[in-house]
Structure 1
Amino acid sequence: MKKRVTLTFPQRTIQMPLTYRLAKDFNIAANIIRAQVAPNQVGKLVLELSGDIDQLEAAIEWMRAQEIAVSLASREIAIDEDSCVDCGLCTGVCPTEALILDPESFKLTFRRSRCVVCEQCVATCPVQAISTNF
């Protein structure tokens, strides 16, 4: 099973080897989608966690016990096709290639199954045709 989570670390837990602990202690694979971590600051990490459902739940409980705020991602990307001008700027920032331009028609194609909701495309779209839904 897979779950997307956003983690917010207090300053004192920034140095914790989180992905190592998830793999070793819970047999969870952690794919880092976005990271914003700096010494002496609050850190944010967007992960896609993969593993057994019971192990995922145990890992989330453990992270919360470490005072790491865990929020489950239940959002998805929405594209307003009427507003989209098919410029392709979003395709350059999409880390999973969920957004591509068709090489023949030059129309934007969104492959939802590849999207990890990192939201990089939302900020990049010059006409605000991309947004997130809950």
Structure 2
Amino acid sequence: MKKRVNLTFPKRAISIPITYRLAKDFNIAANIIRAQVAPNKVGKMVLELSGDIDQLEEALDWMRSQDIEVSLHGREIVIDDTTCVDCGLCTGVCPTEALTLDSKTFQLNFLRSRCVVCEQCITACPVNAISINL
């Protein structure tokens, strides 16, 4: 099973080796989607976790016990087709190739299953056709 989670670390928890502990103690694969972690600052991380459902729940409980705020990631990218001009600027910043231009029609294609909601496309769109649905 896969779950996407947002983590917020208090300053004192920055030094905890989260991804190592998830792999070693819970047999959970952790794909880091986005991370903003620095000494003496509150840290934020978006992870995609893969593993057994029971071990995923145990891992989430363990992170909460470390005073790490855990919230499930329910957000998704939304593209307004009436505003989009199919310029393709968003395709250049998409790390998973969820956004592509059709080579024949030059229209934007969005494969939601590939999207990791990194939000890079939102700032790249010159006409503000891309947003996030909470």
Q: Does TM-score exceed 0.5, indicating one fold? A: yes
Aligned to 2:16: 16
Which 5+ residue runs of structure 2 have no aligned equivalent?
none
Number of matched pairs: 134
User: Is it true that 1:2 corresponds to 2:24 in the alignment?
Assistant: no
Aligned to 1:82: 82
Runs ≥4 residues deviating over 3 A: none
Query: Equivalents in 1 of 2:95, 2:23: separation in Å?
Result: 23
Report deviation, 1:93. Answer: 1.4
Query: Equivalents in 2 of 1:60, 1:95: separation in Å?
Result: 26
Report deviation, 1:14. Answer: 0.8
User: Deviations along 1:50-80, whole A, 9 cap, x unmatched?
Assistant: 0011111110010010000111011111110
- How high is the sequence identity, in percent, across the aligned residues? 75
Aligned to 2:93: 93
Aligned to 1:61: 61
Q: Please give the TM-score of this superposition, normalised by the length of structure 2.
A: 0.96
Which 5+ residue runs of structure 1 have no aligned equivalent?
none
Root mean square deviation of aligned Cα: 0.9
Aligned to 2:51: 51
